[in-house]
Homo-oligomer: A and B are copies of this chain.
Amino acid sequence: MSLPHAILTALVEKPSSGLELTRRFDKSIGYFWSATHQQIYRELGKLEAEGFIRTLPSEQPARGQKKSYEVLPAGRAELARWTAASQDPRPHRDTLLLRMRAAAVVGTEGIEDDLRRHLALHRRQLAEYEEIEKRDFPPGKDSSQDRLRHLVLQAGIDLETFWTQWLTRALEEFAELPGHETA
């Protein structure tokens, strides 16, 4: 299971409260491991109970009161252990490909608009990644940390590039299908 480790990583990078983590999961970390605020609060509770993190001393705990966490040595050790441990790739699920396959047997009626919508979303995401690359990884920034982080971003860029290309191609094929309406 990966959510606790995603949180530990985020907290090692910078101690944060639940809401700050939620926001960071909406970008950055969330690009390849999403989580809702409820998952995050629940997990923070568990991680604290296990002695992997603790609340920053300064703040007094009260409901509706900001509560920041930092990673303890045990948490860092657990993160290192998990990172080094061998793991099988998890089976991969993609609704759009499934729908394409269904469309092959029940007809393509209606799916085309959604392909266009997905194409727009992936183009937007790609542009966002390229923006981040320009901002955070100018030439010359190449400490070990920077290189690893750049590699991760590169994976995001390549995946979005794949989707835009594949969707473009799919839409071209659709245009050539018999019975297709040409505007």
| A91 contacts B by Cβ under 8 Å | yes
Residues of B within 8 A of A151 (CB): 100, 166, 169-170, 173
Distance of A94 Cα from B145 Cα, bound (Å): 20
The listed residue (B111, B148, B149) touching A84 by CB distance below 8 A is B111
Flag if B97 contacts A118 (CB, 8 Å): no
Main SS of chain A's interface residues?
helix
B149 touches A101 (CB 8 A): yes
Nearest Cβ in chain B — how far from A160, in angstroms? 11
Using known A-B contacts A121-B89, A147-B173, determine if residue A32 contacts B94 with beta carbons closer than 8 Å: yes
A176 closest partner in B (C-beta): B147
Query: If A147-B173, A166-B154 touch, does A33 touch B94 (CB 8 Å cutoff)?
Result: yes
Interface, chain A (partner B; CB < 8 A): 2, 5-6, 8-9, 12-13, 29-30, 32-34, 76, 79-80, 82-87, 89-111, 113-114, 117-118, 121, 144-145, 147-149, 151-152, 154-156, 158-159, 162, 165-166, 169-170, 173, 177-178
